[in-house]
Structure 1
Amino acid sequence: MARTRNAFRSVFSGLARGAETVARAQNRSAEFERLNSKTDAELAALGLSRDAIARYVYSDILYI
């Protein structure tokens, strides 16, 4: 019985981690699109250039 419970916990834990990963990716994509839709002047006001958007949005996972 305990083995079955642990197996279910493992499966549901994996599903939860997967859903969290998808949600984070969607948030990053939305942020990238939001910034990319701004004009160069608007980006400059934020201290960004168009070629730095990806680095800004993904900097914690890409290490670039």
Structure 2
Amino acid sequence: MATSTTNLVHGGFFSRFFRGIADGFEQHARIMSRRGLIDELHAKSDAELAEMGIKREDIVRHVFQDLFYS
């Protein structure tokens, strides 16, 4: 019985630990995949951004709106 309890404790800790690391890598990959779009929008002129309905200071908000502003 002590063995099964120990395995549950260690399994739970290590599962959460490695899941946290994997989630961090996944989040980093999502952010980096949007970095190109941010750079592309920053390269546009203010007039081009205005045609798209985006203000320069709102570019990051626009790119990540589905994650934070939904």
Normalising by structure 2, what TM-score? 0.60
Corresponding letter in the other structure for 1:14 = G
Partner of 1:47: 53
Q: 1:16 aligns with which of 4, 15, 22?
A: 22
Identical amino acids, percent of aligned pairs: 35
Could you tell me how far 1:58 is from its partner in structure 2? 5.1
Corresponding letter in the other structure for 1:35 = L
The answer on 1:3 being equivalent to 2:19 is no
Higher relative CO (Cα under 8 Å, sequence separation at least 6) belongs to 1
Relative to 1, partners in 2 of residues 1:43 and 1:7: Cα closer, same or farther, differing over 3 Å? same
Which has the greater radius of gyration? Answer: 2
Number of positions where the alignment pairs a residue of Structure 1 with one of Structure 2: 62
Structure 1 residue ranges without an equivalent (≥5): none
The answer on 1:56 being equivalent to 2:62 is yes
Return the alpha-carbon distance in structure 2 between the equivalents of residues 40 and 6 of structure 1: 51
Structure 2 residue ranges without an equivalent (≥5): 1-6
- SS of the counterpart of 1:48? coil
The answer on 1:32 being equivalent to 2:38 is yes
Return the alpha-carbon distance in structure 2 between the equivalents of residues 22 and 55 of structure 1: 17
Could you tell me how far 1:9 is from its partner in structure 2? 0.5
